[in-house]
Amino acid sequence: MSRWNEEFFIEKGLLLTAVSSIIIITLIIVFIFKEGLPAIQSYGFINFIFGMDWAPSSGQYGVFPMIIGSLGITALSLLMAVPLGILCAIFLAEVAPARMRKILNPTIQTLAGIPSVVYGFFGLILLVPFMRIHFGGTGFSMFTASIILTIMILPIIVSVSEDAIRSIPQEYKEASLALGATHWQTIKNVIFPAAIPGVITSVILGMGRAIGETLAIIMVAGNVVQIPGSIMDPVRALTSNIAIEMGYATGIHYNALFATGIVLIFMIIILLVLANYLHYKKKVTVGGGYL
């Protein structure tokens, strides 16, 4: 009887730990919304999302320029990191000799773990002056921020894509080579198409990290609240807005920063839904079309 009891309590205890992630997510959403909604209610949903001015001292809380800022920095860094990352992943999985892999893999792992503030600091000291000298302006810009983000998300894209490519059954490759295809034809027509779901996952992970990155962006993006006219203009991301102003915010300003967090949560949810959808869809196409 006591043994049965022990088994029962242990199973329920483990269930409790398993349910904790749902409890935590719920708590996070409840608390962010509880603090953020008053600002959206009093300022108006449309005004808040599509408002062009953010001036807490005069009661203006429009986050639209920062939504554009976040999306702009993210898109630009993906534009650089995705092609380079995928090529590098194919290189590691298919082309590189074992010795080269032995150097590159631990390096990439280390870089994935390096704190984002280190990247931000690197950008602030090296990249910002470089941009100032070669492209004019202050050097703090959307472009500078995207370069730093590119370096930060490269390790994720490379390692996850490499895993995806490596997990393709060897038989596919051998069959293609046996038919007389060159290695490149095999990569292009067999290996890469089969690895696409994993590659998409890597891009989405990179995108998530780019949208969520905070302090590194603050250090190099200039943080001016404006819709950038060019990629060389300074911008402020949603995340930066929270981190910069939370230190001294009170009253409705404090709530408006939590409301900025709500916008951020929605962007991540959209990304998650999109990721699940794309992953599923691609898997089906690959299953039916190529293999």
Partner 1 sequence: MGDCRLHRIIPPKIAQKIMDLIFWASGIITLLILLMVIGYVFYKGLPVINLEFLFTDPMDSGKAGGIFPMIVSSLYVTFIAVLVSAPIGVGAALYLAEYAGENRTVRLIRFGAETLSSIPSIIFGLFGLAFFVIYLRMGWSVLSGGLTLALMALPTILAASEVSIESINKSYAQGSLALGATKWQTVSKVVIPAALPGITTGIILGMARAIAEAAAILYTVGAALITPISLLDPARPLPLHLYILATEGISLDNAWGTAAVLVILILIITVTTNTLVDRYRKQMMGR
User: Considering only residues 244-263, where is the footprint of partner 1 by CB under 8 A?
Assistant: 246-247, 257-258, 261
CB 235 within 8 A of CB 67: no
| Residue closest to 228 by CA, chosen among 152, 140, 123, 116 | 140
Residues numbered 4 to 33 that lie near partner 1 (CB under 8 A) are: 6-7, 10-11, 13-22, 24-25, 27-28, 31-32
Q: Toward partner 1, which CB reaches closer, 35 or 53? A: 35
Smallest gap, in angstroms, from Cβ of residue 125 to partner 1? 7
- Is there binding between residue 274 and partner 1 (CB under 8 A)? no
Residues in region 33-92 near partner 1 by CB under 8 A: 34-35, 84-85, 87-88, 90-92
* Alpha-carbon span 273 to 283, nearest angstrom: 16
Copy the structure tokens of residue 16: 């409790």
Question: In the bound complex, what is the minimum distance in angstroms from residue 229's beta carbon to partner 1?
Answer: 26
* Of 65, 69, 212, 228, the one binding partner 1 by CB under 8 A: 212
Residues 159-188 that bind partner 1 (CB under 8 A): 181-185, 187-188
Asked if 196 touches partner 1 (CB under 8 A), the answer is: no
How far is the C-alpha of 51 from the C-alpha of 63, rounded, in Å? 6
Number of shown-chain residues binding partner 1 (CB under 8 A):
88
Binding of partner 1 at residue 135 (CB under 8 A)?
no
**Cβ-based nearer residue to partner 1, 16 or 79:** 16
Quote the CA–CA distance of 62 and 46 in Å, as a whole number.
9
Task: Judge residue 246's burial from the number of C-beta atoms within 10 Å of its C-beta, 0-12 exposed, 13-18 middle, 19 or more buried.
Answer: middle
108 contributes a contact to partner 1 by CB under 8 A: yes
The C-alpha atoms of residue 156 and residue 174 are separated, in whole angstroms, by 28
Q: For the stretch 253-287, what's the b/e string if a residue is b when 16 or more beta carbons lie within 10 angstroms of its beta carbon?
A: bbbbbbbbbbbbeebeeebeeebeebbeebeeeee
Candidate ranges 42-50, 53-61, 118-126, 135-143; the one touching partner 1 (CB under 8 A): 118-126
- What DSSP string describes 11-60? HHHHHHHHHHHHHHHHHHHHHHHHHHHHHHHHH-HHHHHH---EEGGGTE
In this chain, which stretch among 104-112, 129-137, 224-232, 279-287 interacts with partner 1, using CB under 8 A? Answer: 104-112
Q: Is 155 near partner 1 (CB under 8 A)? A: yes
Candidates 2-10, 43-51, 55-63, 163-171; binding stretch for partner 1 (CB under 8 A) = 2-10
Tell me whether residue 46 or residue 285 sits nearer to partner 1 (CB atom): 285
Q: Give the separation between CA 251 and CA 80, rounded to whole angstroms.
A: 41
